[in-house]
Amino acid sequence: MMSKSKIIYTLTDEAPMLATYSFLPIVKAFTAPAGIEMETRDISLAGRILSNFPEFLKEDQKIGDALAELGELAKTPEANIIKLPNISASIPQLAAAISELQAHGYAVPNYPADPTNEEEKAIKASYAKVLGSAVNPVLREGNSDRRAPKAVKNYAKANPHSMGAWSADSKTKVAHMESCDFYGTEKSVTVENASQFKIEFVGTNGSVKELKGLAPLKAGEVIDSSVLSITALKGFVADVIAEAKAAGVLLSAHLKATMMKVSDPIIFGAIVEVYFKDVFAQFADLFKELNINPNNGLGELYSKIAGNAQEADVKAAIDAAIANGPALAMVNSDKGITNLHVPSDVIVDASMPAMIRTSGQMWNKEGKQQDTFALIPDRSYAGIYTAVIDDCKANGALDPKTMGSVPNVGLMAQKAEEYGSHDKTFQSDAEGTIRIIDAEGNVFMEQQVAVGDIFRMCQTKDAPIQDWVKLAVNRARLSATPAVFWLDKNRAHDREIIKKVNKYLPDFDTTGLDIRILAPVDACKFSLDRIRKGEDTISVSGNVLRDYLTDLFPILEVGTSAKMLSIVPLMNGGGLFETGAGGSAPKHIEQFIEEGYLRWDSLGEFLALGASLEHLSQTQNNPKALVLADALDVATEKFLATDKSPGRKLGTIDNRGSHFYLAMYWAEALAAQTKDADLAALFAPIAQEMTANEAKINEELIASQGKAQEIKGYYHPDFDLTSKAMRPSATLNAIVSKLG
Ligand SMILES: NC(=O)C1=CN([C@@H]2O[C@H](COP(=O)(O)OP(=O)(O)OC[C@H]3O[C@@H](n4cnc5c(N)ncnc54)[C@H](OP(=O)(O)O)[C@@H]3O)[C@@H](O)[C@H]2O)C=CC1
Ligand SMILES: O=C(O)CCC(=O)C(=O)O
Ligand SMILES: [Mg+2]
Q: Is 284 buried (19+), middle (13-18) or exposed (0-12) by CB count in 10 A? A: exposed
Q: What is the structure's pLDDT at 575?
A: 98
| pLDDT mean over 277-283 | 98
Ligand 2 atom, smallest distance to 350 CA: 7
Q: Kindly report the number of other CB atoms within 10 A of residue 401's CB atom.
A: 12
Q: How far is the CA of 264 from the centre of ligand 2 (A)?
A: 14
Q: Residue 37: which region, alpha, beta or left (left: phi > 0; alpha: psi -120 to 50)? A: beta
Q: What is the structure's pLDDT at 648?
A: 84
Interface confidence (ipTM) of the complex: 0.97
Q: How far is the CA of 729 from the centre of ligand 1 (A)?
A: 27
Answer whether 88 contacts ligand 1 (Cβ < 6 A).
Answer: yes
Determine whether the annotation assigns residue 140 to a binding site: yes
Task: Determine what percent of the chain is predicted with pLDDT higher than 70.
Answer: 99
Indicate the SS3 state at residue 498.
helix
Report helix angle 297-305 to 263-275, nearest 10.
70
What Å distances lie between residue 318 and 247, 280, 322, CA to CA? 22, 10, 6
Contact by Cβ (8 Å): 101, 46:
yes
Answer whether 327 contacts ligand 1 (Cβ < 6 A).
Answer: no
Answer whether 658 contacts ligand 1 (Cβ < 6 A).
Answer: no
Q: What is the structure's pLDDT at 649?
A: 84
Q: What is the structure's pLDDT at 1?
A: 38
Q: What is the structure's pLDDT at 740?
A: 78
Q: List, in sequence order, every residue forming a beta bridge with 41; answer none if it has no partner.
A: 10
CA 573 to chain centre: 24
Range in 3-12, 638-647, 667-676 the model is least confident about:
3-12
Residue 184 neighbours by CB under 8 Å, 6+ apart: 177, 379
The pTM assigned to this predicted structure is 0.97
Answer whether 86 contacts ligand 1 (Cβ < 6 A).
Answer: yes
| pLDDT mean over 255-284 | 98
Q: Is the pLDDT of residue 197 over 60?
A: yes
Task: Determine what percent of the chain is predicted with pLDDT higher than 90.
Answer: 99
Q: What is the structure's pLDDT at 17?
A: 98
DSSP classification of residue 485: E
Residue 607: what residue type? L
The Cα 230–Cα 46 span in angstroms is 34
Determine whether the annotation assigns residue 266 to a binding site: no
Q: What is the structure's pLDDT at 319?
A: 97
What Å distances lie between residue 520 and 259, 383, 486, 524, 545, CA to CA? 21, 8, 5, 6, 9
Residue 430 neighbours by CB under 8 Å, 6+ apart: 201, 203, 204, 451
Answer whether 562 contacts ligand 1 (Cβ < 6 A).
Answer: yes
Ligand 2 atom 3: residue of nearest CA: 133
Q: Is 507 buried (19+), middle (13-18) or exposed (0-12) by CB count in 10 A? A: exposed
Q: What is the pLDDT of residues 725-734, one digit of tens each?
A: 999 999 999 9
Residues with CB under 6 A from ligand 2: 88, 133, 136, 258-259, 349, 547, 550, 581
Answer whether 584 contacts ligand 1 (Cβ < 6 A).
Answer: yes
Q: What is the structure's pLDDT at 606?
A: 98
- Domain edges within the chain: 5-141+570-737, 173-182+230-395, 188-228+419-457
Q: What is the pLDDT of residues 349-386, one digit of tens each?
A: 999 999 999 999 999 999 999 999 999 999 999 999 99
What Å distances lie between residue 45 and 42, 90, 138, 290, 413, CA to CA? 9, 11, 14, 27, 23
Q: What is the structure's pLDDT at 26?
A: 98
Q: What is the pLDDT of residues 482-504, one digit of tens each?
A: 999 999 999 999 999 999 999 99
What mean pLDDT, rounded, does the chain reach? 97
Phi, psi of 584 (to 5 degrees): -105, 15
Ion ligand 3: residues, CB < 5 A: 349, 547
Query: Over 89-148, what HEC string results?
Result: ECHHHHHHHHHHHHHCCCCCCCCCCCCCCHHHHHHHHHHHCCCECCCHHHHCCECEEEEC
Q: Is the pLDDT of residue 3 over 60?
A: no
Q: Is the pLDDT of residue 2 over 70?
A: no
The Cα 698–Cα 292 span in angstroms is 50
